């Protein structure tokens, strides 16, 4: 089983974050929510490993 990586892993983190915000520029709340949902599904499919995904859901839930 591969583990969920919770260490810094994105080179150019600021650029990535700016790109994420830019994707939402000018969108209504409804369209932004839909974009986030599509993005989530695209990323989840790329990861594909159910144990990693379950772990990620747990981490996200515990971090609020």
Residues that bind other proteins (CB under 8 A): 33-34, 37-38, 40-42, 45
- What minimum distance in Å lies between the beta carbon of 34 and other proteins? 6
Q: What does each C-alpha distance from 52 to 5, 18, 24 come to in angstroms?
A: 9, 26, 27
- What minimum distance in Å lies between the beta carbon of 59 and other proteins? 18
Nearer to other proteins, 3 or 30 (CB): 30
For the record, the structure tokens of 6 come out as: 């919770």
Q: Are 4 and 59 in contact (CB under 8 A)?
A: yes
- What minimum distance in Å lies between the beta carbon of 47 and other proteins? 12
């Amino acid at each position: 089983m591969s583990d969920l990586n919770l260490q810094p892993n994105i080179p150019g983190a600021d650029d990535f974050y700016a790109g994420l915000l830019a994707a939402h520029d000018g969108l209504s709340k409804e369209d932004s929510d839909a974009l986030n949902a599509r993005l989530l599904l695209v990323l989840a499919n790329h990861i594909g490993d159910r144990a990693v995904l379950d772990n990620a859901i747990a981490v996200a839930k515990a971090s609020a």
